[in-house]
Structure formats: structure tokens, C-alpha cells
A and B are shown apart, each in its own frame.
Chain A
Amino acid sequence: MHPATGDDVHSSGTAAPAAVSVATADAPALPGTEGHEALIEVRDLKVTIPFRGQDVYAVRGVTFDVHRDSTVVLVGESGSGKSVTARSMLGLLPPATTISGSVKFEGHELVGLSEKQWRQHRATGISIVFQDPTRSLNPTMRIGHQIGEGIRRHFGVSRAAALDRATELLDMVGIGSPKERVRDYPHQLSGGMRQRVMMAIAISCDPKVLIADEPTTALDVTTEAQIMELLLSLQSQLHMGLLLITHNMGLAFTYGDEIAVMYAGRIVESAPKEELVRHVRMPYTNGLLGSLPAVDDLPHSQLAAMQGRPPDAMTTPRGCAFQPRCPIAEARCTEQAPPLAVLDGTHACACWYPL
């Protein structure tokens, strides 16, 4: 693998503001979950994808952990690199992609694996639930068969045993009359039920880590709540680590234990949920929360919208990527990109002038 281009995280030589310690690439950026083993450790992950002749710097240096029995939320807008980060953990990126940095699962390095080696980790180690269940399910196969496919491939059990297990799983994900349902085709199920089937498939081989990539974006608000609660209950039943990818701040704050906000391919703020609720440090996160229409706004009031748009993923800004839109940007922000620095123990922020 040749190293990807992209802006590097500098540790600055000039004096940083007091009480800020610079996180090196080795120290986890999410301390504070002691007692739970780290199942996935991501260190300075960079992903560059060629697209129509140009390089897209989708992920520009991301560091975080996913612990057992804990939910990490990667939240960001489109183009922030969150989905690419998730897919890099399963080797689901196009072959021409350049990946550098390290992604360790239970100590095994995942970057640079061959397709054959990936198959050992998928489903049994790390599993994923995608956004659109309609497109992820084969319309010509019965759902019992689809759930059982993975089980048979990994555990080599008989078709009957796989079907039994599939029925069990359908029950686990809250689908009524599982014995009848297991013979249904996807089109006979509603959107919410299909997503439950996806989750059954995802947990069928007892993974240690479950990645949920925008699992409820295609669903209605009432179904969304049901599915998210199911996700969390499965997590606690199976003691999995859960990595939730979403653009919905509400979901992030409701269901996450640790929240990492991504912008332009990097994590710009990360903290346990309670800490982040108490005190938002990164101007982008602040701006994002402020621009959400809130339930107690007056009708016809103006939202505190941020100016501009996220930067083009094909350019490499010299300083902070958020600087053009930042209300408190100073000269330093255009010259140097701030590293993701740990402030007070559990809260990390990539800003020269955190709030």
C-alpha cells in the first residue's frame, strides 16, 4: 500500500493553549471506557478513492475505538467520510482504493487484507446493517434462506439446522409468527420488518462488532424508534460493540454512548454523550446543533444556519477544513489544521479555539 496523500495531522511546534494535550496517533482519542475491552482500534485511518480520474480524499486521518457493550456514533453530513470509514472495516471499498493507517480488530490488522482473509472476519467478527433493506435483500430468495446462507457458510450446519436458527433469529428481532414468516419473500414484508430481517442476518453468526450504516434513514419516525431500540437490545443481549453511522443528530444523542462528529474526512469532536450534551466545544458541532429546527422554536423564526458548504472532497485545504464557515475563525485557522486534541480527559476536539 502506498501512503495516501491528504493533509496530515501536525503536532504543532508553537505553544498550544493551556490545558490541551495533543493526542498522538497511539493514544486512543476516546479514553473513559475502561473496563470494556476495545474490539476495534482505528488509528489515523486515511482512505483515498479514485473517481473518474481524480482522487477523492474521503477519510483524512481518523482515530477512535469501539468497545464491547458500548455504542459509538459517527455523526456527520454527507461527504464527511463516515460511511467510508465504516466500510473500510469490512473491506467493502472498491479495489482501486488506497488505505493507510491501522484498523485492528481484536489485535488483528485489517488494513491490507486480501479478500480471502477478509472473509474470515466478516459476519463472525464484524457485521453490518445497511441503510436500504429493499436493496440489500435478494427479492427472489425466501428470507429464511437468506438468513441461513451465512450460517451455513460459516458453521457448516445442515439446511434444516440453519432454518431453525433463522427462525430463532426472526423471533429475536421481534418478527411475529417466525415459523411462518421464515418462508416469506422480502416483498411480503414492510420496510420496518425488512430492516429487522437485515439485522437478523447481521447477527446470525454472532459477530463481536455490529456496524449500523444509517439503519433507519429509509424508515418512518415511528418505525425508526422501534428499530433503534431493537438494535440496542440486541447489542446488550449479544454483548457486541455497536458502531452507528448517521447524519441525524437526534439519533446520535439519543442512542450513543460516545459521539464522534465527522467533518471533511476527519473527526472534529468526540466525547461521551453526557459530556457533549453539557458542553459542545467544536464550532461546527455547535453550528450543526444550532441549525436544527427545534420543537420549541417560534414559527417563522430564522434558523441559525451556517454559511457555505462542506469542502470538496477532492481538495486538500491547508488549514482547518471548517475555517471558511466558522464564525470564530482566526488567522491561525487558515495556516494550520488543528489536530484532534484531548481536552479534560474524555472530550477531544480539533479546534484551535474550542468553545
Chain B
Amino acid sequence: MATSGVDAVRQTARQAGTTAPLLDVRHVERTFVVNTPGQGRRKIQAVADVSFDIWPGETVALVGETGCGKSTLARSILQLPRPEAGEVVFKGADLVQLRHAALRNAMQGMQVVFQDPFSSLNPRWNVLELVGEPLAVHDVGTKQERTRRVEELLEAVGLDARIHGRRRPRELSGGQCQRVAIARALTLSPNLMVCDEAVSSLDVSIQAQILNLFEDLRTDFDLSYLFITHDLSVARHMSDRIAVMYLGKIVELAPSTELFSNPLHPYSAALLSSMPHSDGTATPDRIRLTGDIPSAANPPSGCRFRTRCPFAQQLCADVEPPLNAVSEGRQVACHFPLERHTAAAAPAGTRVD
């Protein structure tokens, strides 16, 4: 019975006296209205009734393929723009209900790092100005104090203010730009960092450096992360818990080690078995999905995954499976979650062509 990272985190939180999660997302919905010629106005539910939470010191990863809504969910949490329904309770305050200055104040502990290192930096500013922007906006301290803080932050992310300070984004590499974005996010001492595919645009060797940087910062600055990625191995590496999304809904939520050793939702299992391995081994049980992702404007009835699920049955088309807790920290939205024997005599996994 391995102590999952989740338990350790919860324990620390209880010891610290916190009984509430840092971020509590409840029944968030985000719908787009799209007007295409020939198809009229359609409502696309990019995020449909999503709930999860993040505790202090925890890293939660949101994984899923294109169109699953993970980025939209992240932006809804950041109120960019706010969701149409649901609550986003951050440090006790529901952000969805707040406006203008009150919202800006309540969001102070939350920062973001986006995917594209270049477009998240104003191309006409230099590094010192970019990292110092939060301080300038909130008029924190004197000019000298601000400069010193910026220098400290640049050092924390592995850059030298004297060398890189006056440079503009186009004079930096992708990895360096991302470091600048991270330094900027740290300026106001956040509690929660939302990383939206923050390493996906980087080369493999740089990706590893930035992931290590995230880990160092996590312990140095006591951060919690919401890590959005499509790369499962990155998610596994970074996070305590992983939420798997499909077509706007969370289909499985589990501690990362458990998700990988024992996925319960067929989609999670399919994702895991589709990952190519860099040791040349073929994946033993490869669950092949048939068909394409259905349109988000017209999701399948009942369980949204049923059209591609090798185990779908009539019940799956009639009733949408709710996200049920199956054990401490594990939730699955499936009528027939996968069973895997944990004993030594494990039968070969299902393989459906």
C-alpha cells in the first residue's frame, strides 16, 4: 500500500492547519457559440461540468488530447474569460462572482505560464521590464527594490540580469523566454501556478531543464501547480494527481503512480498504450481506438467516449456515467471501469483490434 503523493500532501496540509483546498473548481461550464455558414449557430461545450480541487503544495496535471477542453478549462479558472456556470473558489473566494478590482485582488496568488514562450512576452520590452511588470502594475516598493527583486528572480530561474536584462524576446531562445515568463509569474509570490502546455514548444533537452526548474521552484517557493499537458510522461513526472479529460469532461482522476499502473477508464488505458516508448519495446496491451474524436458541438449521448470505446454497451449510450469516487483520491466516470489484477498471475491485457 504505497503512500501516494496525495496522502503525503494532504497530511502536510492538515498539519499546517489548512482544511480547505487552495483551488476548488466546482461544476464549471464553458460554452462557445459558433456560427458556421451551412451549419448555422452551434453551441460547443468546451468544458462541461468539471469539478476538481488542488491542495496547497500539490501538483495536479490535466491531460488529454486536442479538443478535450483542458486549455479552455485552464483559462476559465484564470477568468480569461470567466465560465458561464460553476464556481472557482481560490483561497476561499469565488472568482466567478467578483469583478474589476475585487477580482484582481482575489487572483493575486494565481499566476500563469503559457505555451508559446515568444507570444507571452511583449516583443518591444526587455527582460527587466517584462519581469518587473507585475511590480510596476501594483506599484510595489521603490525602483531600487524592484530592480533587486527582478535580479533575484532572474537568478532563481537561471538567467543573469547583467547579461540578459536588456535583451528583447527575439534575442533569446525559446527556453530562455520561458524562463523569463516563469520569473515574471513568480514576482508576486503566487501560491498557484497554472502552466498551460508550458514545455510543449521546447526541445527535448530544454524541456528537461525547464521541468527541473519547475521542481526546484516548487520546493523553494512552496508552489502548487496546475499543469496542463498532452504528454503523459511529463504529467507523470511532475504531478501528484492526474485528471484525464475527454471532450470537455474529466473521465478519470487519480494519483499519478496509480493511474499509470492501473488505469480504470478505457480512454486512460488507450492513451497510455499509445505512447511510443524510447526503448523500442512494443506496448504489451495496446488498446486501439477506432474512429475519430466526435464533434464537440454534437457529443454522443450518454458517455461521450462510447463511440470509440471497445467496451461500450447499451447502458453507455443511455446514461451518462457520473464521476464517481472509487477510493481515496480516485474518481472514474465509467459504467464498466477496467479491472486489473494486481496479483502476480496477471492475465494478458485486453487487446481489441
CB distance from B305 to the nearest CB of A (A): 12
For B, the interface residue count at a CB cutoff of 8 angstroms equals 45
Q: By the criterion CB–CB under 8 Å, are A78 and B203 in contact?
A: yes
Is the beta-carbon distance between B236 and A248 smaller than 8 angstroms?
no
Q: Which of A158-166, A188-196, A326-334 contacts B (4 or more CB under 8 A)?
A: A188-196
B352: chain A residues at CB < 8 Å are none
* Contact status A220-B230, CB under 8 Å: yes
Minimum CB–CB distance for B353 against chain A, Å: 11
CB of A253 within 8 Å of the partner chain: yes
- Partner of B212 from A190, A226, A305 at Cβ < 8 Å: A305
- A114 contacts the other chain (CB 8 A): no
Known contacts being A192-B292, A291-B208, A306-B208, is A300 close to B238, with CB within 8 Å? yes
* B257 vs chain A, min Cβ distance (A): 7
Q: Are A247 and B276 in contact (CB under 8 A)?
A: no
Mark each residue of chain A from 251 to 292: 1 if its CB lies under 8 Å from any CB of chain B, else 0.
111110000000000000000011001000000000111011
The answer to whether B12 has its CB under 8 Å from any CB of chain A is no
Residue B65 is within 8 A (CB to CB) of chain A in the complex: yes
Which residues from B are CB-within-8-Å of A304?
208
Residues of B within 8 A of A23 (CB): none
Check A292 against B212 for contact (C-beta < 8 Å): no
> Most chain-A Cβ atoms within 10 A of its Cβ — which of B173, B207, B286, B292?
B292
Query: Measured between C-beta atoms, what is the minimum distance from B311 to chain A in Å?
Result: 16
**CB pair A222 B279 closer than 8 Å:** no
With an 8 A cutoff between CB atoms, is B274 at the interface?
A: yes
Chain B residues whose C-beta falls within 8 Å of the C-beta of A190 in the assembled complex: 292-293
- Which residues of A sit under 8 angstroms from B239, Cβ to Cβ? 299
B205 engages A291 (CB within 8 Å): yes
Contact residues on A (Cβ < 8 Å of other chain), bracket: 35 or more
Q: Is A297 an interface residue (CB 8 A)?
A: yes
A287: chain B residues within 8 A (beta carbon): 205
Identify which of A78, A251, A297 contacts B237 (C-beta below 8 A).
A297
* A77 sits at the interface (CB 8 A): yes
Interface pair B276/A299, CB less than 8 Å apart: no
B118, CB-defined interface residue at 8 Å = no
Give the chain B neighbours of A191 by CB distance below 8 A. 66
Interface check B301, CB cutoff 8 A = no
Contacts of A226 in B (CB 8 A): 288
Instruction: Report how far A305 CA is from B239 CA in the complex, Å.
Output: 18
Say yes or no: is B196 at the interface (Cβ < 8 Å to chain A): no
* Minimal beta-carbon separation of A192 from chain B (angstroms): 6
Interface flags, A284-328, vs B, CB<8A=1, else 0: 000111011111010111111111011000000000000000000
Instruction: Given contact pairs A295-B232, A295-B277, A299-B238, enumerate 12 new A-B contacts (beta carbons under 8 Å).
Output: A77-B203, A190-B292, A222-B271, A223-B65, A223-B292, A250-B278, A288-B204, A295-B236, A300-B218, A302-B215, A306-B208, A310-B205
Taking beta carbons and an 8 Å cutoff, which residues of A are in contact with B? 77-78, 190-193, 220-226, 228, 247-255, 273-274, 277, 287-289, 291-295, 297, 299-307, 309-310
